[in-house]
Chain A
Amino acid sequence: MKFGVVVFPGSNCDHDAYHAAKHVLGQDAEYLWHKDAGLKGADVIVLPGGFAHGDYLRTGAIARFSPIMPAIQEFARSGGPVLGICNGFQVLLEAGLLPGAMLRNRDLKFHCEHVTVRVEQTDTPFTSAAVKGQRLRLPIAHGEGNYYAAPEVVRELEAARRVIFRYCDERGEATDAANPNGAVNGIAGICNEARNVVGLMPHPERACESPLGSADGLILFESVVTALAREGAARTA
């Protein structure tokens, strides 16, 4: 299967995502320039981390108008798996593919560290190989990861089990002390209503090999490979 890694001017985790898909997982992978109109037959789309368009105006606000975005909107609408990592998550929020917005971290600091997140739900293409409650050690690197949505939207996300990752301590408790940025309800990642679009602030693509300090991020990529293989098998059967 083929990973399509979208490259915006200012993306800086595109190579990490490509490396994880191509070299760690041995899958096909291709870069998609933000001015491309098509997705080159990609089976899964990754919006990588970085600072698309220099974060001008707001994070992800300009990237939303990229020529490739209508194709991604259509891909998402038709059920294709889309993963937004960090800045990619911010782009998905601005593009309206996921609800909510990002605020500056509550302590105004750029956080560059490893955190622990808990897998809250496993019925998404990016968590299907994980176990509910599984703790993942993943790096974060962001100044605006303080997830915000209006209280009624947060209630709806929780009720519909659309919070996919939550910051937690080493024992798996979602405490305020374990929340690095002030995100409402400790939310680190969410999905859309159809559950095929997932966005998260931590960087699984930077945690796919143990020499990097953690290989816990691999589970997201393995999940989508397995999920799509299963889907493909079901289609041919």
Chain B
Amino acid sequence: MKARVFVTLKKSVFDPQGKTIADALHSLGYTSVGDVRQGKFFELDIAAPSADQAKTVAAEVADKVLANPVIESYRVEVE
């Protein structure tokens, strides 16, 4: 089963890379783009009997390793 984990900096944490990307987009004329947040994307192949169980494993892995809970939050999707 394929799980996708999206990791981004928490809303309360300043993201200098996202800000720089937003500035670049604005200088290109994309004034409709507001805030940009940069993050990380992981695709995990998980051998699990159900989507729910795969999601549990992915969330646990995200919590322990893929994201640093001090500065980042994550979202899990299972296919």
Contact = CB atoms under 8 A, between A and B. Distances in A.
B44 to A, nearest CB: 14
B16 A108 contact: yes
B21 to A, nearest CB: 11
Interface stretch (A1-9, A18-26, A99-107, A115-123): A99-107
A93 B66 CA distance: 15
B8 to A, nearest CB: 13
Interface string A73-111: 000000000000000000001100001110111111000
A106 B68 contact: no
Nearest to B67: A58
A107 B66 contact: no
B47 interface: no
A58 B69 CA distance: 12
B48 interface: no
B20 interface: yes
A103 B66 contact: no
Contacts of A104: 16-17
B33 interface: no
Given A100-B70, A108-B20, 17 more contacts: A57-B65, A57-B66, A58-B68, A61-B65, A61-B68, A99-B70, A101-B68, A101-B71, A103-B9, A103-B14, A105-B16, A106-B16, A107-B16, A148-B13, A148-B71, A150-B12, A150-B70
A107 B9 CA distance: 17
Contacts of B20: 108
Contact of B14 (A57, A94, A106): A106
B70 A149 contact: yes
A57 B70 CA distance: 15
Interface string B3-24: 0000001001110110010000
Nearest to B42: A57
A21 B13 CA distance: 38
A104 B13 CA distance: 11
Interface of A: 57-58, 61, 93-94, 99-101, 103-108, 148-150, 182
A182 B14 CA distance: 10
B16 A103 contact: yes
- Ranked nearest first, the 5 interchain pairs of A and B with the lowest CB-CB distance are A101-B70, A101-B71, A101-B68, A108-B16, A106-B16
Contacts of A148: 13, 70-71
A103 B68 contact: no
A150 B71 CA distance: 8
Nearest to A99: B70
A235 to B, nearest CB: 37
B38 to A, nearest CB: 10
A151 B68 CA distance: 17
Given A108-B20, A148-B70, A149-B70, A103 B65 contact: no
Nearest to A59: B68
Nearest to A60: B68
A150 B17 CA distance: 20
